[in-house]
Amino acid sequence: MNRADSWLLRPQCWLGGVLLLCLLGGSAQAELFRMASCPAQLDPEAAVRETLAQGQSCKARFQREAAAAAYGRALRLAPHNFEALWNLAVLKTQLAFNQPDKAAQQAAFQQARALANEALRQDSARYEGHYAVALVAGASQRGSANPTERLAAGRAVRWHAGRALAYRPAHAESWVLLGGWHLGLANLSWAERLVVGHAAAGASNEQALRCFQQALRLQPDNLKVYLLAATACTHLHRPAESQALLRHALALPLLRPEDAQVRQKCAELLREIGSGRAVFFIGDATRTSC
C-alpha cells in the first residue's frame, strides 16, 4: 500500500468520518453512501458503446435472444442508433420463426420492418440497412398465398440486396438473399408464371448458383448455403455436384440454431438424389420433382 492510501487505515480518520455522518442530515448521508457504494456512471455514449459490444458478442456466438435484448437496451439509450436498429431488425426477423402462432410471427415481422426502415432512413448509403430491409421483405412473405404481396416482396429483396452488394460486395448474407430470389422465381410452376409475368425476368438457376458460390467463399461454414447451392445444382441437372456439396455440408459442425434442421434436409436431399427423385428446398418451402 502506498503512503497516499495508508491514511485511510488510521483510526482517527474513521472516527472523524463517523462524526461527520452524525452531523449530516438523512439525505446527505444517503448521497454519501450512494457515492461510496456505486461506481462512476458511464456517460451516455460510453453506455451505448458498451451495450452494442454486448450485442455483437452475443450475435457472434449465435445467441440471438441475448443479442436482441442487448440491442434493445441500446435503442432505449439511443433511439436512432443505426447499429442497434439494423441489428435488431435482423434478429427479430430470425427469431420470428420461433413464435408460437402466425399472428405473433407477423407482429414480430412488423416490428422488424419498422426497425429496418428506420435504419435505412438514418443512413441509406450503408449496406446494412438495405440488407435488413431485404431480409424482412423476403422472410415476412415466405409461404404467403397473396401473389401481389409476394411480388412486392420479391422486388424489394432483389433491389435492396443488390444495393447492399453495391456498397459491400463481400457481404455473404446479401448474396444468399439475391440467390434465393433467383432460385425462387426460376422454378415457378406454369400457373405461378402466369401470375408473376415479367417480374421473373432475369431469374435463373445459373445465377442462383453463382450467388450461393459467392456466399460460400465468404462463409464456408454455413450449412444452409450448401443446401441452397445443392438445390440449384439439382435444378440444373448436375447431381454429382449437388451430392458433393451435400456431403461437405454433412461433415460441418453445427454452429447456428437452425443447423440441425438444415443438416436433416441435406441428408434427405442426398438420399433423394441417390434414388433418382429430388426434393427441392427453396427457403422453407418444399417442392417435389420426379
Domains in the chain, CATH or no CATH each: 45-145 (1.25.40.10), 170-290 (1.25.40.10)
Backbone region of residue 202 per phi and psi (left: phi > 0; alpha: psi in -120 to 50; beta: other values): left
Angle between helices 223-235 and 205-218 (to 10 degrees): 160
Residue 265 corresponds to which amino acid?
A: K
Query: What is residue 276's predicted lDDT score, i.e. its pLDDT?
Result: 76
Residue reference for cell 446527505: 28
Successive 10-residue mean pLDDT values, the chain, 290 residues: 45 44 48 42 85 97 97 97 98 93 92 97 97 95 73 92 98 97 88 76 94 98 98 96 98 96 97 77 38
pLDDT at res. 281: 53
Of the candidates 187, 180, 197, 163, the one whose C-alpha atom is nearest the C-alpha of residue 236 is 187
CB distance 127 to 86 below 8 Å: no
Question: Strand 278-282 relative to strand 285-289: parallel, antiparallel, unpaired?
Answer: antiparallel
Predicted local distance difference test score (pLDDT) of residue 20: 40
Distant-in-sequence, close-in-space partners of 111: CB < 8 Å, separation ≥ 6: 92
Say how far apart CA 214 and CA 206 lie, in whole Å. Answer: 13
Please say whether the beta carbons of 248 and 226 come within 8 A: yes
CB 85 within 8 A of CB 118: yes
pLDDT value at residue 17: 47
Q: What are phi and psi of 16, to 5 degrees?
A: -65, -35
The pLDDT, as a whole number, for residue 29 is 47
Predicted local distance difference test score (pLDDT) of residue 135: 97
Q: Which residues, in sequence order, are bridge partners of residue 280?
A: 287
Question: What gap in Å lies between CA 40 and CA 113, rounded to an integer?
Answer: 37
Bridge partners of 287, per DSSP, are 280
Please give the helix or strand (H or E) that residue 289 lies within, else none. Answer: strand 285-289
pTM, to two decimals: 0.80
Cell representation of residue 251: 461433415
Give CA 81 to chain center in angstroms: 17
C-alpha distances out from residue 119 to 25, 211, 263, Å: 50, 25, 33
Q: Taking a C-beta distance cutoff of 8 angstroms, is the pair 88, 68 a contact? A: yes
User: Whole-angstrom distance between the N-terminal and C-terminal Cα of the chain?
Assistant: 81
* Full DSSP string of 176-225: HHHHHHHHHHHT--HHHHHHHGGGGTT--HHHHHHHHHHHHHH-TT-HHH
Contacts of 35 (CB under 8 A, 6+ apart): none
CA 213, CA 236: separation in Å to the nearest integer? 15
